Amino acid sequence: MKRKTFLKGLIAATAFAALPLTAAAEDTIKIGEINHYKRLAAFAGPYKLGIELAIEEVNEAGGVLGKPLEFIFRDDQGEPGEAIKIAEELMTREGAVMLTGTILSNVGLAISSFAGEKGYVYLASEPLADSIVWGAGNPYTFRLRASTYMQAAMLAEAAAKTDAVTYATIAPNYAYGKDAVAAFKENLTRLKPEVEFVAEQWPGVFKIDAGAEVQALERAKPDAIYNVTFGPDLAKFVREGGDRGLFDGRQIFGLLSGEPEYLDPLGDEAPEGWIVTGYPWYDLTDGPEGAFVKAYQAAYNDYPRVGSLVGYMTVQSIVAALERAGSTESEAIRAAFEGLDVSTPMGEITFREIDNQSTAGAYVGTTALRDGGGIMVDWEYKDGANYLPSDEEVKKLRPSE
């Protein structure tokens, strides 16, 4: 009897193992999340926490399409080739129904291209390069965050109201930095045709020689500087520029420079008077914005960063798409994302049908010091829908599909 029981169990186990992975994975709906968790931990860590908070809320409310939602997190080490390899494994072996994630734009572009070729839906939650939805856009890639163009246009609007005429720029030498400078130039020149750009500096990402860059910018004698550096490059630039007086008497515009991930590490060395995009979580107390901040603080005994907000909104967007699709099939999810409306802590956003870009906006304000650290003051939330090119312009930018 014991031998028969053992054989029956062996046969049953073998049969289960032979089932397609999709059949074994039917208890949950899996999303493949790819990011640079070690290389960019300051951003990716809070981003993951935001995702986990949203997943907990979704599953406590009954899940999506009657099943629990599950994210499979994978680290690509910031390498495009590794990201593509992971994406293939997530979709074909792990049973993921779609992909999301990435911070670095070159990695996001690689996954986007792969998703377009394979017909996998990819929600580019964090990468900001404009080409993700325009020049290299495809029907299967959607972007959540306000793009480089959108945030640069917000800063250009502020710059046009100042007396500055000559500008210098500094940006990392890859897709995101190139797009950021081009967008700022385009928008500022349109708003204020007399402006002149007198210098451009292009340090390698995370390889800045801050002393040399500051010297080159100072030699140009600009009225204002447009800064796109971030992370450790931003910290080095701020310290070197401050020590050498580069920022004295000049207006500085900083893309992402007001984000807690990058501003907080500067402590009392944080610059004052810069006009920046960022996230003033400390002033968000009411409505959906305040509710998110309170929930995050209660869950983690810590304050949210921009990454936290993006991670949370990533889950909200995916859940809304799945519910609208009523299915986990790629084509149904893709169709559901087009024109999708989502309620988020930033308010209602829409994934535009014409280019798959969401209308999520950004906060623009001025840096200041408070209690030994940098914050944003006099800030305003800018609706992303107001800072996107017209449909006619997008049609010229986006490849035919």
The answer on pLDDT for 25 being more than 50 is no
- pLDDT category at 1 given cuts 50, 70, 90 is very low
What's residue 6's pLDDT? 37
Query: What is the chain's mean pLDDT, rounded?
Result: 92
- Closest by CA to 372, choosing from 275, 280, 266, is 266
User: What number is the average pLDDT over the span 172-177?
Assistant: 89
Other beta carbons within 10 Å of 53: 21
The torsion of the CA quartet 75, 77, 81, 85, rounded to 10 degrees, works out to -20
Token pair listed for 103:
């911070």
Contact 134, 189 (CB under 8 A): no
Domains parsed from the chain with CATH numbers: 21-146+285-360 (3.40.50.2300), 149-279+363-387 (3.40.50.2300)
User: What number is the average pLDDT over the span 9-38?
Assistant: 64
- pLDDT category at 9 given cuts 50, 70, 90 is very low
Of the chain, the percentage scoring pLDDT greater than 70 comes to 93
The answer on pLDDT for 12 being more than 80 is no
The residues pairing with 50 across neighbouring beta strands, listed in sequence order, are none
- pLDDT category at 401 given cuts 50, 70, 90 is low
What's residue 348's pLDDT? 97
The answer on pLDDT for 4 being more than 80 is no
User: What number is the average pLDDT over the span 13-23?
Assistant: 41
User: What number is the average pLDDT over the span 154-165?
Assistant: 98
The answer on pLDDT for 171 being more than 70 is yes
The answer on pLDDT for 28 being more than 80 is yes
The answer on pLDDT for 295 being more than 60 is yes
- pLDDT category at 312 given cuts 50, 70, 90 is very high
The answer on pLDDT for 10 being more than 50 is no
Model confidence pLDDT, tens digit, residues 91-129: 999 999 999 999 998 999 999 999 999 999 999 999 998
What's residue 205's pLDDT? 87
Contact 159, 224 (CB under 8 A): yes
- pLDDT category at 198 given cuts 50, 70, 90 is very high
The answer on pLDDT for 350 being more than 90 is yes
The answer on pLDDT for 18 being more than 50 is no
What's residue 42's pLDDT? 84
Residues in Cβ contact with 322 at an 8 Å cutoff, skipping those fewer than 6 apart: 29, 64, 65, 97, 328, 333, 336
User: What number is the average pLDDT over the span 135-140?
Assistant: 96
The answer on pLDDT for 3 being more than 50 is no
- Tell me which amino acid residue 303 is: Y
Model confidence pLDDT, tens digit, residues 181-194: 999 999 999 999 99
Question: Could you tell me the CA-to-CA distances from 27 to 23, 64, 312, 325, 326 in Å, in that order?
Answer: 9, 11, 23, 18, 16
